[in-house]
Amino acid sequence: MRYRALGRTGIEVSTYCLGTMMLGSVGNPDHDDCARIIHHALDHGVNFIDTADMYSAGESETIVGKALHGRRDDVILATKVHFPMGEGRNRGGNSRRWILTAVEDSLRRLDTDRIDLYQIHRPDHTTDIEETLATLDDLVRAGKIRTYGCSTFPAEELVEAHHAAQRRAVSRFRTEQPPYSLLARGIEADILPVAQRYGMGVLVWSPLASGFLSGHIRRDTVDLTTGRAALTPHRFDPAIPANAAKYDALEQLTALAAELGCTLPELALAFTQAHPAVTATIIGPRTMAHLETALKGAELALDDATLDRIDEIVPPGANLYRPDGAWRPPALTDRTLRRRPQADRAAA
């Protein structure tokens, strides 16, 4: 396992980060098996674990907390806040009120007295970013968290957050967690350069493109009745014209992996490690077999000739699909923000 500095935090982390979204009722409900997966990752050099309060409604944090008994000091532990937790108003978002409540809940579930990296899971345009940053800064001063970052923020939001931190004279986001894969390279155009400019650590998620790069998906054999293909058929159905470019690239990438003597997942994970802005790649196994497959490629490094071949297949900065779970600004999702009131239009 290799290790890198987490931005300018002074913390060193493994280049593989164990993501735990699939540990719990959403993926693997067997707590003992989940603990074995966590321990196996630690035994193979992983010292970085990422979870979130909303993963399986808090169950993932509970699993991680139990698994880390006796090993907490060896781990850089990250979790996230933003998405609603339970029914009712004011139980989500990035407000001071909710963050102060959510961090205590996460500490309790994780059975720890501090969180090494506390991340804002998505932007929240109903809360002033200065309020969010000031709250996180207070948590650092209180010793409840060590440093903080964000996840799936667009480049302009990162820049604004840094300026807001400077105005407020508080610490700034030290990390960003965006989606990145062989098929979704959009962050190369903006997120990664901004992260480098501000010395941010970068943890990339969905390196296997929601299972598309798992090695089990092919144009002629894809089964739309099982697994992720059944949950999101619009991502996998070869009959949909928008998917044609993905399948064309997949065939070429599979052939390239075979030439290199590695598997497609190993090629996909190694690719995310090649960019100088990336600190760690989040792997999210549901089973021990998934973890062992990922760990096999931990030492694989791609040479320039291979990276040039990949650039020919999927151009730098290109997105052949929109990553599942990627954030979309309210200006696009809320049509009322794109349209003048009818009365105003009629008057015009």
CATH tag for 3-210+269-337 (out of 3.90.600.10, 3.20.20.100, 3.10.620.30, 3.40.50.620): 3.20.20.100
| Enclosing H/E stretch for 132 | helix 129-141
The tokens for 188 are 């190369």
pLDDT band for 229, please (50, 70, 90 cuts).
confident
In this structure, of 37-51, 156-170, 193-207, 286-300, the range with the lowest mean pLDDT score is 286-300
pLDDT band for 332, please (50, 70, 90 cuts).
confident
* Cα–Cα distance measured from residue 167 to residue 161, given in angstroms and rounded to the nearest whole number: 10
Q: What's the pLDDT at 10?
A: 96
Q: What's the pLDDT at 346?
A: 65
Phi, psi of 151 (to 5 degrees): -140, 130
Residue 348 pLDDT greater than 70, yes or no: no
Q: What are 50-109's pLDDT values in tens digits?
A: 999 999 999 999 999 999 999 999 999 999 999 999 888 899 999 999 999 999 999 999
The tokens for 126 are 């109903």
Residue 235 pLDDT greater than 70, yes or no: yes
Active site residues: 55
The tokens for 183 are 């098929």
* Cα–Cα distance measured from residue 209 to residue 179, given in angstroms and rounded to the nearest whole number: 9
Do you know the residue count of the chain?
A: 348
What residues contact residue 299 under an 8 Å CB cut-off, 6+ apart?
1, 2
Q: What are 144-203's pLDDT values in tens digits?
A: 999 999 999 999 999 999 999 999 999 999 999 999 999 999 999 999 999 999 999 999
The structure's pTM equals 0.93
3 state DSSP class of 28 = strand
In this structure, of 127-136, 267-276, 291-300, the range with the lowest mean pLDDT score is 291-300
148 forms beta bridges with 118
* Cα–Cα distance measured from residue 146 to residue 144, given in angstroms and rounded to the nearest whole number: 7
Q: What's the pLDDT at 70?
A: 95
> 235, 236, 262, 248: which is closest to 312 by C-alpha?
248
* Cα–Cα distance measured from residue 113 to residue 72, given in angstroms and rounded to the nearest whole number: 10
**Extents of the domains making up the chain:** 3-210+269-337
Q: How many CB atoms lie within 10 A of CB 28?
A: 21
**251: Cα within 13 Å, side-chain hemisphere:** 10
Average pLDDT, the chain: 94
